[in-house]
Amino acid sequence: MTAPAFEPVIIGFTCNWCSYRAADLAGTARIEYPPNVRLIRVMCSGRVDPAFVLKALADGADGVLIAGCHPGECHYLEQNYKALRRHRLLLRTLAQLGIEAERVRLAWASAAEGARFAEEVRDMVALLRALGPLRWPARPIPAAHAQATTPTQAAVTEVTT
Amino acid sequence: MVQEKVGVYVCHCGSNIAGVVDVGDVARFAAEELKDRGVALARDYTFMCSVSGQDMIERDIRELGLTRVVVAACSPHLHEATFRGACARAGLNPYLSEMASIREHVAWVHRDPQAATAKAKAIVAGTVARVLRNEPLQAIEVPIDARTLVVGGGIAGIQAALEVAEAGYDVHLIEREPSLGGHMAQFDKTFPTLDCAACILTPKMAAAGAHPKIHLHTWSEVEKVEGQVGDYTVHVRRKPRYVDADVCTGCGICVEKCPVVVVDDTFEAGIGYRKAIYWPFAQAVPNLPVLDPATCTYFVGGKGGCRACEKFCPTVPNSIRFDQHEEPLTLRVGNIILATGFDLFDARRVAQYGYGRLANVFTSLELERMCSAAGPTGGKVVLRDGHTTPRSVGIVHCVGSRDRNYNRHCSAICCMQSLKTAHLIKERTGAEVYDFYIDMRSPGKEYDEFYQRVLDDGVHFIRGKVAEISDVPLDPGEEDGRLYVQVEDTLAGLRRRIPVDMVVLSAALEPRRDSAEVGRIFGIACSTRGWFIEKHAKLDPVATMTEGVFVAGCAQGPKDIPASVAQGAAAAARVLNHIRQGVLSLEPVRAGVLAERCSGCRLCNGLCPFNAIRFDAEHGVSEINAALCQGCGTCVAACPAGAIQGSGFSDAQLYAQIDGLLADLRRQPAEAT
């Protein structure tokens, strides 16, 4: 099999206490994953302003990974739930912009889960390779996405009701 | 505006980074392509964290007037403090430096040198963009309350408490059970010296119990913890003992007169008995009985009970207090040591070994109690019938350890414990002892010598994982009433069935069942299995990611008594270090409201779990209490007016970092096809 020509670029927001440490652990344990992700450390996934995500996508990233502590394990008690809420709302906005839900992923990884972090990255890279480059905001909104037929739309509708 | 001069330092880390990333190319990239973005110089060097590496940074700051520093090396969790220190020594505000992690996040996880080098460049570009937006900050200084909380009264917790108390500071020692002692109090002998566990533990327990600086709270559990290093408020739940600790003399008449006898499945591991009012064990500290409402006739049966303990209590006023209730207790402390220990693996889970089904299959803890002269059998090793001495005994290692069905970890102590058990059984019964092991692990001072000694005792060692323990005779010559250990002898290359009278299962050490919840209460992380995670596996084994919370003993991972004692003392040393400093510097990562920009929308008000945000109704603006703010930044992200500023992680820094990280895509827009 030949490798696909397109290599996506992902911006990863990782929290200081769990997911950044998971990425550190993946390194210490030499768990290989594709080099497509570039990490930014924030103190908490709750720090991630949805505007950061839009900025990253507008600047050329093909996807954004937001990784926090597992629900119930947040260093700041419950701020990862706020990240979860924002992510759900953000997906709704993205759908209206014609951006696939797979491009902005929320994941949990504890400081002990280097392997899990690597797996999330691998998985996301594979999905984005299949989706192709984003080229947003230049690209036209695909009709299919504008018409609320993506799985994201269904999921968001469920959440908001 | 001052022209910023950024110095970029790319570390080889020997071959750790340089083996994958072309560090020279990264430095050239920074010097040439990031020149217009403020990079004044870029160097690569073998070990940036070495003294000469740090000197290089200091010299450049002094001689070339660098105003910002970026070190592309390992994770900031490892060396951020190192390079901040170098900047500070050269007179640069330490918060004007940043680290770019190109080891953990690049060199160690990617193999393609070209892709890794490209990623390293992007990370450096992002970090340079970010550092230009850094503000000079001052560390937050917090005073340290000199009182310390130790949770867990096993050997690790006792040691930690004694060390802090001996240094002259108050310690609150909390124990969930009614007495100090932990698992060690249940043991008979300790390997490899065969010291009597009680003989070496009891003086420590007594010293902790009597120490004027140690405030003992047994039969108590921590419910909630608030605050931060230096100033924790701890809410404790004290369970009713139904005995007045201030009056009781510990004479024991109540225990003697109590007519209710029940199986003691805590201290005696289910092979002994206790009364409804009982001493946890003979040398209990504090020396007070405790009444078990689940079995006392006063509480069960609904007829008012026998009240024999109350009738015969000789103290005035009476020590028996049926009206005691749970009491809350609030403590203020500056540091916390968690020494909450382990749970023993439930050997019933390995059904093929028959524990709980086959009478003469015992756990290692049951055998400890049996060997103890103060135990239910008075130190005699006997079968479940209570009197027959076994003629042959099998000891099975790794029950629940090193087994993908239960726990993958090695419990660290079971080989030595099994050797000790083998020796004691041999000594007390003269039985033939068969020891079934996978690998013999005896790395410790005098440990392998002890193994040799047990070999010389004539114990039969069979290398192989036991498949099954059965009481059904199969082969000719096998008789009823014995146990048959089915095993593959991997050294002889034989399938063997060994008949024995008794089997001892060396059960695994597991994390406490509630360790995840305890971790949450204290704000520290557990591994996926449930052991508390230390700050650094090698270099910081007793600190946690939460400043002011330390771990010691088996709560951090399986370990033997010497290691638990050493860790307890180490944790105490770290606490004393905090106390002696008096004031601790914390990361100045905090949120603050710019009142002139705040519209008073109150969107942020409900977001803070620490109640740091208050609404000032008079001025119509929200304000943040810096003492309560923990710096998560959730409110910063939420503010629609950009009125909340997050120091250290400001919007400007993060936008710049995103911009820098993706700058290469703008340089080569045609690359994506």
| Interchain contact, B609 vs A76, CB within 8 Å | yes
Query: Residue A4 pLDDT > 60, yes or no?
Result: no
Question: What DSSP designation does B36 have?
Answer: G
> Which residues are CB-contacts of B567 (< 8 A; sequence separation ≥ 6)?
B156, B541, B542, B551, B552, B553, B556, B559
| Interchain contact, A113 vs B520, CB within 8 Å | no
Average pLDDT across chain B, whole number: 95
Q: How far is B649 from chain A (nearest CA, A)?
A: 7
pLDDT (tens digit per residue) in A50-67: 999 999 999 999 999 999
| Interchain contact, A52 vs B654, CB within 8 Å | yes
Is residue B548 a contact partner of residue B335, using CB atoms and an 8 Å limit? yes
Query: Residue B268 pLDDT > 50, yes or no?
Result: yes
Residue type, A11: I
Residues of B in contact with A23 (CB under 8 A): 104-105
Residue numbers of B between 89 and 128 with CB closer than 8 Å to A: 101, 103-112, 115-116, 118-119, 122-123, 126
Tokens of B193: 């010296």
Domain B6-139, CATH number (from 3.30.750.24, 3.30.230.10, 3.65.10.10, 3.40.50.960):
3.40.50.960
Range of the domain at A54: 10-160
pLDDT (tens digit per residue) in B289-328: 999 999 999 999 878 889 999 999 999 999 999 999 999 9
Query: Residue B671 pLDDT > 60, yes or no?
Result: no
Question: Which residue from B minimizes the CA distance to A7?
Answer: B672
pLDDT (tens digit per residue) in B321-375: 999 999 999 999 999 999 999 999 999 999 999 999 999 999 999 999 999 999 9
| Interchain contact, B110 vs A35, CB within 8 Å | yes
Q: How far is A82 from chain B (nearest CA, A)?
A: 8
User: Would you state the pLDDT for residue B176?
Assistant: 97
Q: Helical H runs in B313-465?
A: 364-371, 414-429, 447-456
pLDDT (tens digit per residue) in B541-565: 999 988 899 999 999 999 999 999 9
Average pLDDT over residues A120-126: 97
User: Would you state the pLDDT for residue A136?
Assistant: 84
User: Would you state the pLDDT for residue B446?
Assistant: 96
User: Would you state the pLDDT for residue B1?
Assistant: 57
Q: How far apart are CA B412 and CA B447, in angstroms?
A: 12
Domain with residue A30: its CATH number is 3.40.50
Looking at the domain assignment, is residue A2 inside a domain? no
Residues of B in contact with A86 (CB under 8 A): 637
B148-239+330-341+512-583: CATH architecture = 3-Layer(bba) Sandwich (3.50)
| Interchain contact, B662 vs A11, CB within 8 Å | yes
Residue type, A76: Y
The ipTM estimated for the assembled molecules is 0.88
Query: Residue A143 pLDDT > 90, yes or no?
Result: no
User: Would you state the pLDDT for residue A3?
Assistant: 52
User: Would you state the pLDDT for residue A159?
Assistant: 41
Q: Residue B26: helix, strand or coil by DSSP? A: helix
| Interchain contact, A113 vs B75, CB within 8 Å | no
Looking at the domain assignment, is residue A1 inside a domain? no
Query: Residue A14 pLDDT > 90, yes or no?
Result: yes
Query: Residue A158 pLDDT > 80, yes or no?
Result: no
| Interchain contact, A38 vs B672, CB within 8 Å | no
Q: How far apart are CA B281 and CA A20, in angstroms?
A: 47
Question: Within chain B, how many helices (H) and strands (E) appear?
Answer: 16, 34
E strands, B47-103, in order: 68-73, 97-101
Total domains present in chain A: 1
Residues of B in contact with A78 (CB under 8 A): 609
Looking at the domain assignment, is residue A136 inside a domain? yes
- Taking one residue from A and the other from B, the number of pairs with CB-CB distance under 8 angstroms is 158
Q: Does B536 touch chain A (CB under 8 A)?
A: no
Q: How far is B19 from chain A (nearest CA, A)?
A: 14
pLDDT bracket for residue B670 (50, 70, 90): very low
In this structure, what is the dihedral angle of CA atoms A39, A40, A46, A49, given to the nearest 10 degrees? Answer: -110
Task: Give the one of A31, A72, A86 whose C-beta lies nearest to B520's C-beta.
Answer: A72
Residues of B in contact with A56 (CB under 8 A): 658, 662
Question: What DSSP designation does B575 have?
Answer: H
Q: Residue A43: helix, strand or coil by DSSP? A: coil
Query: Residue B180 pLDDT > 80, yes or no?
Result: yes
Tokens of B91: 């007179």
Domain B343-510, CATH number (from 3.30.465.10, 3.40.1210.10, 3.50.50.60, 3.40.1010.20):
3.50.50.60
Task: Give the one of A17, A23, A38 whose C-beta lies nearest to B126's C-beta.
Answer: A38
> Does the fold of domain B343-510 match that of domain B6-139?
no
If residue B205 lies in a helix (H) or strand (E), which one and from where to where? helix B197-210
Q: Pick the more confident residue, B673 or B33.
A: B33
Query: Residue B437 pLDDT > 60, yes or no?
Result: yes
| Interchain contact, B525 vs A78, CB within 8 Å | no
Bridge partner residues of B574 (DSSP)? none
In this structure, what is the dihedral angle of CA atoms B305, B306, B312, B315, given to the nearest 10 degrees? Answer: 0
User: Would you state the pLDDT for residue A141?
Assistant: 55
Residue type, B543: A
Q: How far apart are CA B394 and CA B437, in angstroms?
A: 11
Domain ranges of chain B: 6-139, 148-239+330-341+512-583, 343-510
Task: Give the one of A30, A61, A82 whose C-beta lies nearest to B607's C-beta.
Answer: A82
Residues of B in contact with A26 (CB under 8 A): 104, 108-109
Q: How far is B286 from chain A (nearest CA, A)?
A: 36
CA contacts within 13 A on the Cβ side of A146: 5
pLDDT bracket for residue A75 (50, 70, 90): confident
